[in-house]
Amino acid sequence: MHAIHDLGFPYCTPIQAGVLGYTLKGRDAIGRAQTGTGKTAAFLISIITQLQQTPPPKDRYMGEPRALIIAPTRELVVQIAKDAQELTKYSDLNVMSFVGGMDFDKQLKQLESRFCDILVATPGRLLDFNQRGEVHLDMVEVMVLDEADRMLDMGFIPQVRQIIRQTPMKGERQTLLFSATFTEDVMNLAKQWTTDPAIVEIEPENVASDTVEQHVYAVASADKYKLLYNLITQNDWTRVMVFANRKDEVRRIEERLTRDGISAVQMSGDIPQHKRIRALEGFREGKIRVMVATDVAGRGIHVDGISHVINFTLPEDPDDYVHRIGRTGRAGASGTSISFAGEDDAFALPPIEELIGRKIQCEMPPDELLTPVPRKP
């Protein structure tokens, strides 16, 4: 409780209130919730409570986690592990994380140095360790599968199956599965991997759109960069996330911002893992003002205090719009999203309005926001 208080969360979010009632009694659960609803804290609080109430087995070896959390992307694993470390700081529980693209030996050393209570990992890297005999999953008391729908989309389910086979039978471990959507495929997996689960659904509508003030500027494609530069500099924004649809656009925006004296980093599939983690840390700590990202790279990013999300190009898939603007206005804070609708992407607006169930007023940017970017001497 002390750690929860330190993090400044006096109340439960709806998913926490819904899930914890079951999971604290040891029941399996399936939760439908978008990011930004507090689901990570929900399953972590449940795990930590279980591990503290049950003494560890007497015959215990290194590399035998008691709780296992599997997530589809490296960024998400890093984020969950960070939250777990903050929530366990007054306990003697050890948290470890394994992700691909990071130093294997370093991760191995950590595994050999102390008992592992909570392990957070991507499926591929976990299998590597498991197949080398460095990690044994036969002592897992609680298993969490986060963003199961994305694991399906990314083709990770065969790996996840292999992992689950190494854990105790489903009645002998507690299993929690979270997904942003409950498709037939997700429900089939849930049926195979859980026993009589409680099903908790949190409606996504109010996650993003109620706490985020949404604007659309009608602007020619050629003027978009000017508008972006002026919005950031004239308003002195310090933590902004900019989305574009393609990797080359992301790279170009980041290069221009950097050249024009605004600290920026890019997140896309082209950036090596260690650079991505460094970029994310710099952004989280406030050393970097702007993060430019593609949808795939941006979905796993949870940074508190992002005041503005800018859609440099409108996404073709309306769901991506909801995910994008959900990066701001998180955990009850308010935020603002500004979308640039140009001749190339304005067609994407009506399907977005249909999804969120309301019209977004299209405005013309004021002249001062279209002044030329000052040339560097």
Q: What is the CATH number of the domain that holds 151?
A: 3.40.50.300
Q: Is residue 364 part of a domain?
A: yes
Q: Verify that 196 and 230 share a domain, yes or no.
A: no
Kindly report the backbone phi and psi dihedral angles of residue 98, in degrees, each rounded to the nearest multiple of 5, phi listed first: -125, 125
Instruction: Show the CA angle centred on residue 310, arms to residues 304 and 312, nearest 5°.
Output: 145
One domain, residues 189 and 212: no
Domain count, the chain: 2
pTM of the model: 0.60
Task: Note whether 232 and 194 are same-domain residues.
Answer: no
Do 71 and 100 lie in one domain? The reply is: yes
Q: What pLDDT, on the 0 to 100 scale, is given for residue 4?
A: 53
> 349 and 224, same structural domain?
yes
Contact 290, 223 (CB under 8 A): no
Same domain? For 167 and 94 the reply is: yes
- The last residue of one of the domains, among 175, 202, 229, is 202
Domain edge (last residue) among 179, 202, 225: 202
Residues 193 and 223 occupy one common structural domain: no
Beta bridge partners of 338: 215, 310
Q: 35 lies in a domain? A: yes
What gap in Å lies between CA 263 and CA 183, rounded to an integer? 40
Mean pLDDT of 229-234: 95
Containing domain of residue 299, as a range?
A: 206-370
Which pLDDT band holds residue 206 (cuts at 50, 70, 90)? very low
294 shares its domain with 181: no
Q: Are residues 180 and 222 in the same domain?
A: no
Q: Is residue 143 located within the same domain as residue 119?
A: yes
pLDDT at 106 over 80: no
Q: Is pLDDT above 80 for 211?
A: no
Least confident of 202-206, 207-211, 354-358: 202-206
Cβ-contact 247, 270 below 8 angstroms: yes
Instruction: Average the pLDDT over each of 27-41, 229-243, 264-278 and give the range with the smallest value.
Output: 27-41
Question: Does any domain span residue 264?
Answer: yes
The answer to whether residues 187 and 216 belong to one domain is no
Summarised one tens digit per residue, pLDDT across range 270-308 is 787 778 878 888 888 889 999 999 987 777 677 778 889
Lowest mean pLDDT among 211-225, 238-252, 363-377: 363-377
Average pLDDT over residues 236-258: 93
Assess whether pLDDT exceeds 60 at residue 249. yes
